[in-house]
Amino acid sequence: MQGLASVLAGIPLAALLIGPDQRIAATNPAALDLLGQGIGGRHFLTALRQPDVLTAIESTLRDHAPRRTGYQASDSGRDSSFVVHVAYIDTPESHGVLVCFEDMTEREQAAQMRRDFVANVSHELRTPLTALMGFIETLQGPARRDDKAIDRFLGIMQTEAARMERLVRDLLSLSRVESEERVRPREPVDLSGTIGSVLYMLRPMARERGCEIAFDPVEGIEVPGNADQLQQVFTNLVENAIKYGGAGNHITITIETLDKDVTLRAPGVAVRVRDRGPGIDPLHIPRLTERFYRVDTHRSREMGGTGLGLAIVKHIVNRHRGRLRISSTPGEGSEFMVILPRWTASQG
């Protein structure tokens, strides 16, 4: 079976061969990962177990006709699903049934994500829309000619419409970044200058909330990137720090060069945005960059958040071949670190 094992190893799917004695005659590494390291030589009934797969194999052993069926795997809480292709083969070396497992998990998850996304977008829009329609009706009926009510309601309507506009704008940003994610941007972008202009624009917001921001620019650090998108990254991070940093907030932004970052395998630069707010429960941290994931939905909406800010940050950082790391100590504050590959002479 040496030869057939070598063929199976070349197939980019989990694959195994069942011999005429109904035992597993050959496997490839992906099949062992999927079904267990000890399946070689065992009767297929004890190795595969799912009735649809067993029936397909038995039938193909009998009539030699190819078949397709499904297989569900569950490993440490992660469900995977496969299309199983069963085919009779006949070689001088052996004959039997070749079983190949085509992994559909990613495709199914992508479909599920799309549906969740649409449901989320619709839900996010419905609330402000219902409010708007209610106010329009009230202004046409009960509050008609009531100048004070009209002024007040128009103010709320403006807030709700602006919320929807932010959502639409963030949706468009996200879809644009996603569609470009494979194309790495390569303009030299001055990092301190970018952060400086973000801070200049956010100064009024920070002042209004009594928030101090400390930033010591480091001159001459450039990264290959897209200036607008990097500006959006730091705008979103600093805005979050201002919004969620709590009372008496103090934000520190630092830039540090890394000679050879382990994950980037290249010279990098780390920008840290640190606040002294209440911090984030570690439970939430791995999910913060998911679309519409919020630690506190009510608070986020109140603050005008769309639930897409960190998802946009993550995708822009990915596009720049960088890393986003979030850490927090509840009661002491949070740190959002963006690591980007640095501009080097060879790229110039």
Beta carbon of residue 105, minimum distance to a second copy (angstroms, whole number): 12
Q: Does 137 bind a second copy (CB under 8 A)?
A: yes
The H-assigned helical ranges of 49-146 are 51-63, 105-140
Nearest to 236 by CA among 302, 163, 311, 298: 311
Structure tokens at 229: 């998108």
Query: Does 171 help bind a second copy (rule: CB under 8 A)?
Result: yes
Taking CB under 8 A as the rule, which mask of x and - marks residues 5-44 in contact with a second copy?
-xx-xxxxx-x-----------------------------
Q: Based on CB atoms, which residue is closest to a second copy, 154 or 266?
A: 154
Nearest to 97 by CA among 66, 68, 69, 72: 66
**Residues between 57 and 96 that touch a second copy (CB under 8 A):** 66, 83, 85, 87-93
Is residue 103 a contact residue for a second copy (CB under 8 A)? no
Q: Would you say 184 and 319 are in contact if contact means Cβ atoms under 8 Å apart?
A: yes
* 131-156 core/surface letters (b: 16 or more CB in 10 A; e: else): bbeebeeebeeebeeeeeeeeebeee
DSSP state of 293: -
Is 151 a binder of a second copy (CB under 8 A)?
yes
Question: Does residue number 255 form part of the binding site for a second copy (CB under 8 A)?
Answer: no
* For a second copy, the closer CB: 157 or 218: 157
**Shorter beta-carbon distance to a second copy: residue 73 or 104:** 104
**Separation between Cα atoms, residue 40 and residue 251, nearest integer Å:** 59
Long-range contact set of residues 49-57: C-beta below 8 Å, sequence gap at least 24: 52/84, 53/84, 53/86, 53/99, 56/84, 56/86, 57/18, 57/86, 57/97, 57/99
Residue 165 is a binding residue for a second copy (CB under 8 A): yes
Of 88 and 293, which has the nearer Cβ to a second copy?
88
CA dist., res. 83 & res. 102, Å (int): 5
Interacting residues toward a second copy by CB under 8 A:
2-4, 6-7, 9-13, 15, 66, 83, 85, 87-93, 98, 100, 102, 106-107, 110-112, 114-115, 117-119, 121-122, 125-126, 129, 132-133, 136-137, 139-140, 145, 147, 150-151, 154-155, 157-158, 161-162, 164-165, 168, 171-172, 174-175, 178-179
